[in-house]
Amino acid sequence: MGDKGFSALRPILAFISFNVALQLVNGDLSYSVPEEIKRGSVIGNIAKDLGLDVRTLSSRKFRVDFEGTQKRYCDMNLSTGDLITSERMDRESLCGKKPSCVVKVDLVLENPLELHRLSLHIQDVNDNSPKFRKNLIEMEISESADKGNRFSIEEAHDADIGQNAVQRYNLQRNDNFVLAVDSNKVELVLENTLDREKQKEINLLLTALDGGSPQRSGTVVIHVTVLDANDNAPVFSQAVYKASLPENSPPDTVVITVSATDADEGVNGDVTYDFGHVSDDDVNIFSIDPKTGEIRVTGMIDFEESSSFEMRVQAKDGLGLTSYAKVIIDVTDKNDNAPVIHLKSLTNPIPENVSPGTDLGIINVQDRDSESNGQVRCSIQQGAPFKLVPSIKNYYSLVTTGQLDRELVSDYNITITATDEGSPPLSSSKSVQLSVADINDNPPVFEDQSYSAYVSENNKPGSTLCSVTARDPDWRQNGTVIYSVLPGEVNGAPVSSYVSVNGDTGVIHAVRSFDYEQLRSFKVQVMARDNGSPPLSSNVTVSVFVSDVNDNSPQILYPAPEGNSFMTELVPKAAHGGSLVSKVIAVDADSGQNAWLSYEIVKSTDPGLFTIGVHSGEIRTQRDISESDSMKQNLIVAVKDNGQPSLSATCSMYLLISDNLAEVPELKDISYDEKNSKLTSYLIIALVSVSTFFLTFIIIILGVRFCRRRKPRLLFDGAVAIPSAYLPPNYADVDGTGTLRSAYNYDAYLTTGSRTSDFKFVTSYNDNTLPADQTLRKSPSDFVDPFDDLETSVEQKPPNNDWRFTQGQRPGPSGPHMPYGTHIRWTPKDGTRATGGPEVAMGTGPWPQPPTEAEQLQALMAAANEVSEATATLGPGTMGLSTRYSPQFTLQHVPDYRQNVYIPGSTATLTSNPQQQQATAQQATQQALPPPQASAQPEPPKAAQTPASKKKSTKKEKK
């Protein structure tokens, strides 16, 4: 039906433009739309007519809301601004017989909030044909009926209105009847009398025509039966009956009673009532009593659905004659509908930074009642920062009245109440949940204005210093705090090389190990930043204090530390008790109690003679110096700090009790060995080790000799003489002493055929033997009893107690300053050595003459000079205790001055001769390096023939 009568729309559409212009002036916008228009048809351009920018329709969320209906008959094309149809619009179903059919439409825009009222006038289209209630109408008329008698016919019904409704009727041409039509009824008028004998039944065709274009029509057949008896049709007391009915009337309520009379008597005069044409919607609402004509309520009477009813009532007598009357029922409104609240637009959540007076939404309140029953007042609860501002009819704007703060109130539950003006008034309420959206308007705030961290020096890298905490009352990412260290410098280095901070927890860690002596405190700027857009941040200062740890020993400035110089102080013989002798000066790089120094004499030559100030370090005499006090006094002073645990350092102070240097016999008698107990201990341990090794070696030799007596032939099997030229260069000889006949050299012979490399034998050579750098070969008979001479003198006489100093051993100008070790030499009584070479030049003569006073003074001056420069060092020394069969013995930190060293349990003399050392070094170099090119390269020693090998060769010759 959408296409029916569409050609009739042109004059209506031409009227739209004028109507729109007229309504815009009055403040509303309206369009006239023909019913049954196709879907997608353009009704009008809303954007142009309202002056809106098409580009902003989408961003402003333009939408169309319909009032009082569930269907959306039109919609908006946001790209063009056109209002287009979206549903079929049938005027008859929307408005029925109402002369004007208007559909209210609300146009809503947001940002800013804007509301427009649109009225759609639905124009009727001739889409319905006239229709009779029945297709056949039965009538009975007596042949005695007079001309001019009228017989009522039920008129046709057309759903359309106005010009499209039934406009006229046509009756098929016949000889007896004509049609009479007025505004209220259609009647057949008898024009010629009826003759039953000529025609018993007459069929008439009645056509109803409307005024639409194209014209539509409906037909009905009227069947007339001619009767012999005379009959009268019923007659209603009123042509039109009107009644008023309150809505919501209960069922079985009597609305009105119709009445019709018939002049006939008997059965022909009995009248029955029935409804004529009734719409499908009204057929179940009312009922009529066939006998009494009472019209009663059988359905729901709703003023909002239908405010009036119009129906035809038929009265019929016993002979079938009928008459019709019209009944009009008006429904009176009652306040039976409470207001309904609709949220047409709502901004939720609401940004917390909105200014007061901002529109948040549009609220529409509808009441289906009429007049005062439909007048509504709307209000909102007190205490919330919102209010309702009336807009157009039944529309309100929800606006803010104050500043919102999500950190204080994050959600609002407001109640909107609507009350009508009926009696009694009806009301309704609606709860609206409003959430406040967070805006990054709060920077992170640290819990403290500043932070202090304390860490001990020498901490481990990565250790925790402290933790900073910042709070951000914002929500989610706006409240997420990230920590970082601001760029800066500490002692010229980036602050990031000192500390780091955990971005999530705010824990500050040390990147390096701190040294209190270099850095005692520093400051770091830590920034807390949120993740908002734009991000907000705040800074805090973290002061890092490094606490001291006792990690530095006291440093002695005077006297110089031991081993670096030879410090000697002169003490007058006439010094009284309490006299200041010297002072120990020391410092400690630590601070506080770790740097509090205390002084103590831990060892002294005369414990009761000197004392030292515990805190001053001043060395004073405890009593007067007496003649019996030793001239040479040695003090070992310990300097301790007050740390936990305490650290200490020691120094030696050498004191000479004398009034002048002339009284000092020899400065060289003050030995470093007296001040250095460790060196003496090392020397004793070394001598004991050498003695133990020597005794072990003698026992091994005796064991070998015992085995050779039992199996003499096996001792010489594969014996090889190893010449001294192939011995290591650090081997030295042992010269004979006065108790032996001559100097002895020892060569060790090893067997190449023996897997255990046992010592086979040891033999000695006298002065007439071959040099040591040549290979020694002897027959087995020469070794029959190699230890016979040794048995005659098993015990060796002690060496000569004649301790000798060479001229080079004198200190100062009396000899060169050679800080080398001494060699132990076994010297015969005659003062000569059996072996030749440069060792003969070694001084072993009588003791030198005592130095003169000038030499002593010069030696003291040289010593003082060395002390002040603090450049004297200890050279490594080598004690010549080793033999060809013993390892080298080395003495470390031997003092600069040659002096006598007394070794407990030994009569050896420690001497130092640079010539002898030079000769020994040259000899060692000659043994280690290859010989000159002129001489032949010495071949390695060949294995000497043993008795067993000679025996094998003899057997071969015999064969």
pTM score: 0.49
Phi, psi of 383 (to 5 degrees): 95, -15
Task: State the first-to-last Cα distance of the chain, in angstroms, to the nearest integer.
Answer: 150
Q: What CA–CA distance (Å, rounded) separates 347 from 635?
A: 95
Instruction: Compute the C-alpha angle 78/81/84, nearest 5°.
Output: 90
Q: What CA–CA distance (Å, rounded) separates 607 from 172?
A: 166
Instruction: Tell me the per-residue pLDDT of 401-446, one tens digit each, with 9 for 90 and over.
Output: 999 999 999 999 999 999 999 888 999 999 999 999 999 999 999 9
Q: Which amino acid is at 291?
A: K
Q: What CA–CA distance (Å, rounded) separates 683 from 297?
A: 140
pLDDT value for 913: 46
Beta bridge partner(s), residue 310: 328
**Token pair 């029945």 is at which residue?**
134
CB 277 within 8 A of CB 154: yes
Q: What CA–CA distance (Å, rounded) separates 58 from 349?
A: 20
Please, what's the largest Cα pairwise distance for the chain? Answer: 205
DSSP for 416-449, written as a single string: EEEEE-SSS--EEEEEEEEEEEP-S----EESSS
Q: Is 245 left (phi over 0), alpha (psi -120 to 50) or beta?
A: beta
Q: What CA–CA distance (Å, rounded) separates 20 from 12?
A: 13
In sequence order, which residues have a C-beta less than 8 Å from that of residue 827 and are 6 or more positions away?
735, 737, 738, 799, 800, 833, 844
Instruction: Tell me the per-residue pLDDT of 122-174, one tens digit each, with 9 for 90 and over.
Output: 999 998 899 888 888 888 888 878 888 888 888 888 888 888 899 899 999 89
CB 209 within 8 A of CB 160: no
H or E segment and range at residue 751: strand 745-751
pLDDT value for 345: 81
Alpha helices of 609-668 — where are they, by DSSP H? none
Q: What CA–CA distance (Å, rounded) separates 326 from 236?
A: 10
Produce one character per residue of 114-129: b if its CB has 16 or more CB atoms within 10 Å, e if not: bbbbbebbbbbbbbbb
Of 576, 593, 603, 721, residue with least CA distance to 645: 593
pLDDT value for 344: 80
pLDDT along the chain (959 residues), means of 10: 37 36 49 90 90 89 75 88 90 83 85 82 90 86 83 86 89 90 83 84 92 91 79 84 92 93 78 83 86 92 87 84 88 90 86 90 87 89 89 85 91 92 91 92 94 94 95 92 95 94 96 92 95 94 94 89 65 89 92 91 91 93 89 91 91 86 57 57 91 93 86 44 42 39 44 45 42 41 41 42 43 39 38 39 42 61 53 38 35 40 42 44 43 39 42 41
Q: Which amino acid is at 41?
A: S
In sequence order, which residues have a C-beta less than 8 Å from that of residue 944 and are 6 or more positions away?
719, 720, 721, 777, 778
Beta bridge partner(s), residue 542: 451, 524
| CB neighbours of residue 557 within 10 Å | 12
pLDDT value for 858: 65
Q: Is 859 helix (H, G, I), strand (E, B) or coil?
A: helix
pLDDT value for 709: 78
Q: What CA–CA distance (Å, rounded) separates 680 from 672?
A: 10
Q: Half-sphere exposure of 406 toward its Cβ, with a 13 Å CA cutoff?
A: 22
In sequence order, which residues have a C-beta less than 8 Å from that of residue 366 and are 6 or more positions away?
67, 68, 339, 340, 342, 394
Quick one: tokens of 492? Answer: 């010229």
Task: Give me the percent of the chain exceeding a pLDDT of 90.
Answer: 34
Produce one character per residue of 560-594: b if its CB has 16 or more CB atoms within 10 Å, e if not: bebbbbbbbebbeeebeeeeebbbbebebbbeeeb
Quick one: tokens of 476? Answer: 């989610």
pLDDT value for 667: 53
H or E segment and range at residue 856: helix 853-869
Q: What CA–CA distance (Å, rounded) separates 126 from 162?
A: 10
DSSP for 532-562, written as a single string: SSS--EEEEEEEEEEEP-S----EEEESPPT
